[in-house]
Structure 1
């Protein structure tokens, strides 16, 4: 099965379990690094910094996509799921189950972080929940989330569908790097959500729901744009190949 495509032929529950566990791993790893940095908990030497947070999310996504891609497509992000469905690369009938599994995985990850790091993780670090930085207004935040999610889903659309790309070998690396890039950009402004499930899980468990809608609408808009632009670029290439073959 191609990465990010339909899971036809796989037992229906297995892709949902894969998406739940995959999203759990992504949020648990990335937000744990964010919490450790916020609480100044060192591993050896200084505590984690902003660089570690972006790398934590990116590395976790590389591992997750490589692990569950053949089972569920490795979406672990509602913006990816909706974008792929909108361009016909994923069945709409499977979207609600995927979104539910992704949100459940993120919520479970937030509880796991609370258990591992204690009450300080929730009270002082909000379990790594995203939030607008001082001086960043809602419009800037919405635009930032849309743009960084556009980058991620554009990359997903091309590495998953371009026949020239050996998806099984490089898709996970490309997508993980795209997520890290998004967090590098968005981190200082919005916390770098890029993913409604990743944002909502810690928000719900920590009770910090300020501007929660921004982290849904921004990524969904960016994801749809990224998916359609990637599909357009790929179709243009395919048309050139067909015209060249005549």
Structure 2
């Protein structure tokens, strides 16, 4: 099996299981309807595990452009293969989304909630705040890539690595995923979002392209930063790239904090105005 085909199949498996569990939980009249966040996070972890078992021996099972880019940025993966891997991951994600659509055919018509339908394919923040959402996706993906490098630095019984990687995904989902739905993978979000846009889903609404940049930019930046952070603190490689990206990361964090503080002040001022008006009346 070629590396391209392996990444297509691996990412397809990821989306079949991952998108499939979301469909089961949120679509109307599914037997899994309403099972909740814990079910979703566990299934996504198992989705990654199964994908790694399936194609890890052929391509390393990156199944994520952020992982591919992060590893390449620290010399752990050849740059000339990056476009091939990312193209394969996108193709696999779109195919996987098509399969999930077909599996739940009767349920799209029964489900009136457009947001629930979109959630099967792509992520959406619990609170829409682009700067903060970007921070969440960056942190989650940085932790993912650092975690993969941590795992790679240890010796495990043969065949156990995919289970450990799956546990990492579950931990990220349960601890950090509540803010944005933890895309932590541009192909996982963009590929199915494209599928949502072109599939004949009854009453689907729009594909929320205005938010689509966040689960692309955040994971790509986070993947690279997680890799260079690992190299800096665990191998002593404090490269110029690390310092440059650290400055960018600091600016993003300051921007997010400043935005949220301004919102907080506006809310406080609004409440004070209402109190004054209430006393006057």
Q: Aligned-pair distance for 1:175? A: 1.7
Matches for 1:159-238 after TM superposition, within 5 Å? 159-160=151-152, 162=153, 164-166=154-156, 168-207=158-197, 208=207, 209-236=209-236
Q: Aligned-pair distance for 1:118? A: 1.5
Equivalent of residue 142 in structure 1, options 134, 150, 160 = 134
Q: Deviations over 1:33-69 (max 9, x none)?
A: 10111115115xx642111111111011112213321
Match of residue 271 from structure 2: none
Match of residue 266 from structure 2: none
CA contact (8 A) 2:44 2:169 kept: yes
Matches for 1:77-92 after TM superposition, within 5 Å? 77-92=64-79
Q: Aligned-pair distance for 1:155? A: 1.0
What SS does the aligned partner of 1:114 have?
A: helix
CA contact (8 A) 2:121 2:196 kept: no
| Structure 1 residues 168 and 102: alpha-carbon distance in aligned structure 2, compared to 1, 3 A threshold | farther
Distance in 2, Cα, partners of 1:119 & 1:109: 18
Are 2:107 and 1:114 equivalent residues in the alignment? no
Question: How well do the aligned residues superpose, as a CA RMSD in angstroms?
Answer: 2.1
| Structure 1 residues 231 and 172: alpha-carbon distance in aligned structure 2, compared to 1, 3 A threshold | farther
What SS does the aligned partner of 2:131 have?
A: helix
Give TM-score, length-normalised by structure 2.
0.72
CA contact (8 A) 1:113 1:121 kept: no
CA contact (8 A) 2:140 2:172 kept: yes
Give TM-score, length-normalised by structure 1.
0.82
CA contact (8 A) 1:27 1:109 kept: yes
Structure 2 unaligned segments of length 5 or more: list them. Answer: 198-206, 238-281
Distance in 2, Cα, partners of 1:226 & 1:121: 38
Equivalent of residue 33 in structure 1, options 21, 35, 50 = 21
Distance in 2, Cα, partners of 1:167 & 1:215: 34
Structure 1 unaligned segments of length 5 or more: list them. Answer: 1-12, 238-246
Q: How many residues align?
A: 220
What SS does the aligned partner of 1:125 have?
A: helix
What SS does the aligned partner of 1:190 have?
A: coil
Q: Aligned-pair distance for 1:168? A: 4.4
| Structure 1 residues 121 and 215: alpha-carbon distance in aligned structure 2, compared to 1, 3 A threshold | farther
Distance in 1, Cα, partners of 2:158 & 2:57: 9
CA contact (8 A) 2:68 2:82 kept: yes
Distance in 2, Cα, partners of 1:19 & 1:174: 20
Equivalent of residue 80 in structure 2, options 93, 109, 113 = 93
Q: Aligned-pair distance for 1:236? A: 4.5
Match of residue 202 from structure 2: none
Larger radius of gyration: 2
